A and B are shown apart, each in its own frame.
Chain A
Amino acid sequence: MMKQILMGAALALAAAGTVSAEGQTYVFQAGHPSLKGWLLPKTAPYPESNKPNAARIDLGHKLFFDPRLSGDGNMSCATCHNPSLGWSDALPTAKGVKSMVLGRASPTIINTAFNTTQMWDGRKKDLEDQAMGPMEANVEMNMDTAKLFQWLNSNDGYKALFAKAYPGEPIDASTLSKAIATYERTTAISNNSPFDKWLKGDKRAMSAQQVNGFKLFVGKANCAVCHAAPNFTDNGFHNLGLASFGVAEPDMGRYAQKPIKLMKGAFKTPTLRDIERTAPYFHDGSAKTLMQVVEHYDRGGEVTTNLSPNMKPLGLTQQEKEELVAFMKALTSPFIKVVAPDLPL
């Protein structure tokens, strides 16, 4: 009897729509038009000067996997952004030149093509802008780029590939960046998860537990305020109160780019699509599991110095935490099979 009354109330609420924490009115039914803001476009946006085509994807694919783009000839883009490990590296923080442990986690490349800012601190604006960064960084791939372009310009295989991809353009930082960016924005895409299928109307794509998790995600748990539609990011910067901000000289994050107090210890909101594949979590790799992530938010953070005002203790029950984790696992698209490319010698 009690259950029936509750169900009746829930149905009435569903029909009227629920206002989410980020101010949207949703009806939580598969395929409901109120949810279409969460659907990603079929393809990622690209700059006018770099329209994707087969030759550009092919060249970018080769460059992405070529370790000769690093100073020691042993690190490619795929070393830290490994497609088999969610386009990341499964390490808490990245390992750079000669396995030097770096300060921040390798971010996944999944769906970064949809974002308006790149890197944990947002210092690069798009994928083209970002591509040369790791090669040039002496703690990362540590490449002498003058030597790199000398070599590429003397390699018959690459000369033919560049000529096909960017006819009439030189082999330089611009064309190399454009090719890598094209590969990333056409390949590292997650937009066919159970959640996406549910959005498009497949009732069975998500379990009741996962739908409840989505309700919490946009409601009580306050997640969608930052992990916003459609790519689960607001392209913004927030201090999450991680324990690592409590050390003597913490990583200031975005503050180094924008010296505004709120940005001290703030890092970019990453996408959550394919999140199940990109453990460990946070920019410092401090959470091993999605449950640990949820528990961090439930506590409202560890270190309250300069904490994002959007953070507050959530009071989630164990069941609610499990629902949130189950929902995040509904954001995993079928695995993208990536073939190791035949590199020009």
Chain B
Amino acid sequence: MKKIIFPLLVASLSSAALANDYLVDQKDKAFSKKSLKIKVGDTVEFRNSDPFFHNVFSLSDVKSFDLGSYAQGSSKKVVFDKPGKVEVECSIHPQMQMVIEVEK
């Protein structure tokens, strides 16, 4: 909760200098958000809240990454350093999909 409110406050203060953190949860074989708008330099933390393994990856031109597999309770962070649309999926469960829009 804290992590979600915090960036809103900071974002209202000034422009690009401050990077924000966002949390995306994986629960019941779904991402907690279908889409997310962030700014260049922001970090998204992907957390697994299911009692089995998930993966998070993107093969987008803007940001390509593969977080491997991780267990319940663990999380991994990705910094988005270029503007554009990033399609994020779980390779184990292809129905788990979301889009992150990285704005300048």
If over half of A's interface residues share one DSSP class (helix, strand or loop), that class is named, otherwise mixed; here it is loop
Contact A236 B69 (CB under 8 A): no
Query: Which of under 10, 10 to 19, 20 to 34, or 35 or more describes the interface residues of A?
Result: 20 to 34
- Residues on B with C-beta less than 8 A from A262 are 55, 66, 68-69, 91-92
If over half of B's interface residues share one DSSP class (helix, strand or loop), that class is named, otherwise mixed; here it is loop
Contact A21 B92 (CB under 8 A): no
Contact A309 B53 (CB under 8 A): yes
Contact B93 A235 (CB under 8 A): yes
Contact B66 A22 (CB under 8 A): no
Partner of B95 from A22, A23, A116, A309 at Cβ < 8 Å: A116
Q: How many residues on chain B are close to A (CB under 8 Å)? A: 17
Contact A309 B66 (CB under 8 A): no
Report how far A235 CA is from B96 CA in the complex, Å: 11
Within B23-65, which residues are at the interface with A (CB < 8 Å)? 29, 50-53, 55, 57, 59
Q: Does A238 contact B (CB under 8 A)?
A: yes
Partner of B94 from A22, A117, A259, A309 at Cβ < 8 Å: A117
Q: Does A299 contact B (CB under 8 A)?
A: no
- Residues on A with C-beta less than 8 A from B66 are 260-262
Of listed B53, B68, B93, residue having the most chain A CB within 10 A? B93
Which residue on A lies nearest to B96, using beta carbons? A236
Per-residue CB contact flags for chain A residues 296-321 toward chain B (1 = under 8 Å, else 0) read 00000000000011100000000000
Q: Does A122 contact B (CB under 8 A)?
A: yes
Given contacts A116-B95, A117-B94, A238-B92, contact A260 B57 (CB under 8 A): yes
Contact B94 A235 (CB under 8 A): yes
- Residues on B with C-beta less than 8 A from A266 are 92
Contact A258 B91 (CB under 8 A): yes
Of listed B50, B52, B55, B95, residue having the most chain A CB within 10 A? B52
Contact A21 B68 (CB under 8 A): no
Within A225-267, which residues are at the interface with B (CB < 8 Å)? 225-226, 234-238, 254, 258-263, 266
Contact B52 A235 (CB under 8 A): no
Q: Does B71 contact A (CB under 8 A)?
A: yes
Interface, chain A (partner B; CB < 8 A) = 21-23, 116-117, 122, 225-226, 234-238, 254, 258-263, 266, 308-310
